[in-house]
Each structure stands twice: as structure tokens, then as C-alpha cells.
Structure 1
């Protein structure tokens, strides 16, 4: 499943790069669904869960950014210099905070855990 996930992800980004809107948008769904399934399956391993959640947030941010470019609202201003494209920072930061939690909080409190190897 993880290898198939990469195929869908690459197809999504190829669609984005080549401005093939149908391919890019359709590939969001299998890419995101599989990343959620992978995160769910690893929910008992904190290291894997945090990394897989970060990937899911990354795909979400990336997909939103792609759609904003496809539909030409990416450069529209929300406020000041902040555009709709910048809203992708929300899931990007959520993914980043998942990893910060793991490396700065969880891992130091569990130094003997096999997950830290």
C-alpha cells in the first residue's frame, strides 16, 4: 500500500506540474485516503504515527496549493501580503508540529523505547 501511495502522489504532482487539472485533482483522493489509512494502521507506534500524520498534512497542504493554482485564486489577497496560497501553511505547520512533538517531547521522555532506534 505504501508503494502504491507513492505512485498516486507522483501522478498528482505530475498533473500539477503539467497543468493537467483532471489528473492532479483526481489523484488527490487516493493519495490522501491511503495516507490516512497508513497513519491509522500505525496508530500504535508513536514514531510512525507522527511521521505518517505529517505526510498526510503535507499531502493536504500540497493538494490545496495545487487546487488554488488550478482555480487561479492562489494570488488573491486575504489580508495584507497574505494570499490564499499561504493558507496551505496551516496543514504544513500541523505536519511540522507533529514532528516537533515526536522529536522534542515524546522521544526525550521515552529514551528506552524501541521506537527511538
Structure 2
């Protein structure tokens, strides 16, 4: 499943690069869908879940950005100094926040629990 996921992701991004709108938009569904399934399947492993959720939000942001360019609202000003494309920062930052939480809070906590268990 992970290898198929990479194939769909590459086709989506190649379609974006080549401005093949229909194929690019169609590839969002399997690319994002498989990423969600992978995250769900790894939910018991905090490290894997954090990284796979970050990928889900990365693909979401990437797909939104692609759509903003395809539909021409990437340069539309939605707030001072903020364009439609900049809104892709929301899911990018959510993914980054998930990873920051994992590395700054969860992983150190796991290390302390493992150290106590050895005592």
C-alpha cells in the first residue's frame, strides 16, 4: 500500500507540474485516502502515527496549493499580505505541530518511562 501511495503522489505532483488539471485533481483522492489509511493502521505506534499524520497534512496542503494554482486563486489577496496560496500554510503548520509535539513532548516522555521501567 505504501508503494502504491508513492506512485499516486508522484502522478499527482507530475500532473501539477505539467498542468494536467483533471488528472492532478483526481490523484488527490487516492493519494490522500491511502495516507489516511496508513495513519489509521499505525495509530498504535505513536512515532509512526505522528509521522503519518504529518504526511496526511502535507498532502492536504500540497493538494490545496495545487488546486489554488489550477483554479487561479493562488494570487488572490484574502487578507493583507496573504494570498490564497498562503492558506496552504494551515495544514503544513498542523503537520509541523504534530511532529514538534512528538519530538518535544511525547518522545522524551517515552524515554523517561523506559528509563523508570529499567529500574
Deviation at 1:65, TM superposition (A): 0.2
SS at match of 1:110: helix
Looking at structure 2, the residues matched to 23 and 63 of structure 1 have their Cα atoms a distance apart, in angstroms, of 12
CA RMSD of aligned residues (A): 0.9
Aligned to 1:9: 9
SS at match of 1:74: coil
Looking at structure 2, the residues matched to 52 and 68 of structure 1 have their Cα atoms a distance apart, in angstroms, of 24
The count of aligned residue pairs is: 113
TM-score computed with the length of structure 2 as normaliser: 0.93
SS at match of 1:44: coil
TM-score computed with the length of structure 1 as normaliser: 0.95
Aligned to 2:67: 67
Looking at structure 2, the residues matched to 7 and 108 of structure 1 have their Cα atoms a distance apart, in angstroms, of 34
Runs of 4+ with deviation above 3 angstroms: none
Deviation at 1:104, TM superposition (A): 0.2
Aligned to 2:86: 86
How big is each residue's C-alpha offset from its partner over 1:67-94, in whole Å with a ceiling of 9 and x where there is no partner? 0000000000011110011100000000
Aligned to 1:103: 103
Task: Indicate the structure (1 or 2) with the bigger Cα radius of gyration.
Answer: 2
Deviation at 1:106, TM superposition (A): 0.2
Deviation at 1:99, TM superposition (A): 0.3
